Chain A
Amino acid sequence: NAGVTQTPKFQVLKTGQSMTLQCAQDMNHNSMYWYRQDPGMGLRLIYYSASEGTTDKGEVPNGYNVSRLNKREFSLRLESAAPSQTSVYFCASSETQGGYGYTFGSGTRLTVV
């Protein structure tokens, strides 16, 4: 019962370094999302993919890029990490683009120093 799998679980980067956060789901869901969670700010949408082959910006897309590699995988890339990108990142998936039945991964805790 894997659901949504995120890697890595923890990462420390130096300012200016790049990295890719990986996400894979095994529920045959069409839609996938990347959120960041910061204290007192809830979950904010970075990018989403309504279906394979499409991606769109969310509320806070600056400094990030995404790739929907196939129906299962949706990666988030930081090209030049900044301390403001220190956060916990969550990937989620759902059967449709609507709000129903989001399943979240367990998160990646990223620190940029």
Chain B
Amino acid sequence: GENVEQHPSTLSVQEGDSAVIKCTYSDSASNYFPWYKQELGKGPQLIIDIRSNVGEKKDQRIAVTLNKTAKHFSLHITETQPEDSAVYFCAASRDSWGKLQFGAGTQVVVTP
């Protein structure tokens, strides 16, 4: 089955700096890669996703890149703000019939 590895497990950044989280996956048939943000005491929320026919996708301060050849994808947060502090999860699935396989999560702390 699919295995998703996520790094780093914790990330501390100064407000205004950029944060990058990286994930690798094992199943070459995976073609859907969402990212979730989990705030303290809440369930994960989808923040951005990318499908395998696209190499990069942006939404304001967040962007995701995908390298299918290397089987890795990354989340980039620019101009970080304190409200970006949360746990971020990457995930992968085989699209229409597969279930999501999650990475272990990255605790992001943005310090003023």
Residues of A whose CB lies within 8 Å of any CB of B are 4, 33, 35, 40-45, 48, 58, 90, 92, 96-102, 104-107
Whole-angstrom distance between the Cβ of A45 and the nearest chain B Cβ:
6
| Residue B100, interface by CB 8 Å | yes
Interface centre among B89, B95, B98, B100 (most CB of A within 10 A): B100
Q: How far is the CB of A43 from chain B (nearest CB, A)?
A: 4
Chain A positions within 8 Å of B43 at CB level: 4, 90, 92, 104-107
Q: Are A97 and B97 in contact (CB under 8 A)?
A: yes
Please pick, from B89, B95, B103, the residue contacting A98 in the complex, using a CB distance under 8 A: B95
Binary interface encoding of chain B residues 1-42 relative to chain A, with 1 for a CB under 8 A from any of its CBs, else 0: 000101001000000000000000000000010101000011
Contacts of B42 in A (CB 8 A): 106-107
Chain B positions within 8 Å of A106 at CB level? 41-43
Nearest 7 Cβ contacts at the A-B interface: A99-B93, A104-B43, A42-B102, A42-B104, A43-B102, A98-B96, A99-B100
Chain B residues close to A by CB (< 8 Å): 4, 6, 9, 32, 34, 36, 41-46, 49, 89, 91-100, 102-105
Q: For B32, give its contact among A40, A98, A104 (CB under 8 Å).
A: A98
Q: A43-B89, A45-B99, A96-B96 are in contact. Are A90 and B34 (CB under 8 A)?
A: no
What is the bound-complex CA distance between A40 and B5, given in angstroms?
11
Q: Which residues of A contact B93 (CB under 8 A)?
A: 98-99
Chain B residues with CB under 8 Å of A102's CB are: 34, 44, 46, 100
Residues of A within 8 A of B89 (CB): 42-43
Measured CB to CB, the closest approach of chain B to A31, in angstroms, equals: 9
Given known pairs A43-B89, A104-B44, A106-B43, the reply for A99 and B102 (CB within 8 Å) is no
The one of A40, A48, A105, A107 in contact with B99, judged by C-beta atoms closer than 8 angstroms, is A48
Q: How far is the CA of A33 from the CA of B98 in the complex (A)?
A: 13
Which of B98, B100, B104 contacts A40 (CB under 8 A)?
A: B104
> Are A98 and B97 also in contact (CB < 8 A) when A42-B89, A43-B89, A106-B43 are?
yes
Q: Which residues of A contact B32 (CB under 8 A)?
A: 98-100
